[in-house]
Amino acid sequence: MNSGDNRDRGRDIREKIASQMRSIGNGPRKQITAEEFENLKRAARRLDQMLKAAADADHQALKSAAGRLDQLLSDIRKGKDVNKIRRRPR
């Protein structure tokens, strides 16, 4: 999975949320108060932060895995023992 996949997944999530919000928005219109509007803006900012944090965590995990794989391949090229390979429990 590369960073393009992460961006695509993030875009898909944002589009799904926007689609659900649009479907909710098709009901009767009413004016919201300034306080409700500010609450919605704060919630949107928190959601953006959560999505970015999740994408950053995925990116860091992938970088770490790529580093471990590079080291393992380097050890194999050098003829070193690679018994450190083990499966993670699911």
> What are the residue boundaries of the structural domains of the chain, listed by start?
32-78
- What are the pLDDT digits (tens) for 4-49? 666 788 888 888 888 887 777 666 677 889 999 999 999 999 999 9
pLDDT of residue 84: 66
Q: Using CA atoms, how far apart are residues 57 and 63, in angstroms rounded to an integer?
A: 10
Q: What is the pLDDT of residue 82?
A: 73
Contact 58, 6 (CB under 8 A): yes
Per residue in 44-75, pLDDT (tens digit) is: 999 999 999 999 999 999 999 999 899 889 98
pTM above 0.85, yes or no: no
